[in-house]
Amino acid sequence: MRFDVFTLFPEAFDWYLTQVHIRAAQALGHEFVLTNYRDHTPLSHLQVDDTPYGGGAGMVLRIDVVCAALEAAFGVDAERVKDTRRVVELTPKGRQLDDPLAGELAAGPDLVLLCGRYEGIDERVTHLVTDRVSIGPYVLSGGEIAAMATLDAVTRKLPGVISNPASVVSESHAAELEGGAEYPHYTRPAEFRGWEVPEVLRSGHHAEIERWRAEQVRKR
């Protein structure tokens, strides 16, 4: 799969793109491409934003700048990009990212993430996108952290990226857990400051451990 992120701050991804599961995805042939809107602006002085019609606070990322960046990256009219890719505007006004949506996005087609800044992207971006996605009911300063959260949740779902597939299937919010929270994990030491690991987990009785874990999922 190809993942494209459009941003004014590509350097924000420097650390993220070196992470082990991203490297694993790249080794499997998946691609991560960053495009800086500013590199393709048709405006003078590298302008990318403008004041809002009707007045009010802040600046708005211009639609002509977003179109120019999409066209430079994909070589087709900006409105046609969504014919072959899922084009997502990251916005607090969008559908909230959850495990089913991450699974949907991981199933393809190629994914394009548009990061906003300032007051956001000119509303006419709706002509260019297939989806509007929010990572939660709060406002971030820009779409970069939202893009990383989305890439992370989606990349984990790509077959082979996480070395033990069982750990993805039974994670919190997964269908196997009916959307619930995963059971608790413990490791050595068995006792620390008087805090003990539940006896059942040290018992070696696999059927009882499974029962205990299922019970914990139900309780949670």
Interface positions with ligand SAM (CB under 6 A): 90-93, 115-117, 119-121, 134-136, 138-143, 146
Would you say 130 or 216 has its CB closer to ligand SAM? 130
Termini Cα distance of the chain:
35
CA R_g for the chain: 21
Residue 32 phi/psi, 5-degree rounding, is -125, 120
In the complex, what is the shortest distance from the CB of residue 10 to ligand SAM, in angstroms, rounded to a whole number?
15
In the complex, what is the shortest distance from the CB of residue 197 to ligand SAM, in angstroms, rounded to a whole number?
37
Would you say 61 or 162 has its CB closer to ligand SAM? 61
Please give the single-letter amino acid code of residue 69: A
Would you say 73 or 177 has its CB closer to ligand SAM? 73
Residue 66 phi/psi, 5-degree rounding, is -65, -45
Would you say 131 or 177 has its CB closer to ligand SAM? 131
In the complex, what is the shortest distance from the CB of residue 168 to ligand SAM, in angstroms, rounded to a whole number?
23
Contact 36, 13 (CB under 8 A): no
In the complex, what is the shortest distance from the CB of residue 56 to ligand SAM, in angstroms, rounded to a whole number?
10
Would you say 109 or 142 has its CB closer to ligand SAM? 142
Contact 78, 70 (CB under 8 A): yes
3-state secondary structure (DSSP) of residue 72: helix
Would you state the torsion angle of the CA atoms of residues 122, 114, 35, 77, taken in this order, to the nearest 10 degrees?
-70
Would you state the torsion angle of the CA atoms of residues 194, 197, 199, 203, taken in this order, to the nearest 10 degrees?
-140
In the complex, what is the shortest distance from the CB of residue 50 to ligand SAM, in angstroms, rounded to a whole number?
15
In the complex, what is the shortest distance from the CB of residue 63 to ligand SAM, in angstroms, rounded to a whole number?
13
Residue 35 phi/psi, 5-degree rounding, is -125, 130
User: Closest CB to ligand SAM belongs to which residue?
Assistant: 116
In this structure, what token pair is assigned to residue 18?
């070196």
Would you say 116 or 183 has its CB closer to ligand SAM? 116
In the complex, what is the shortest distance from the CB of residue 104 to ligand SAM, in angstroms, rounded to a whole number?
17
Would you say 5 or 121 has its CB closer to ligand SAM? 121
Contact 152, 106 (CB under 8 A): no
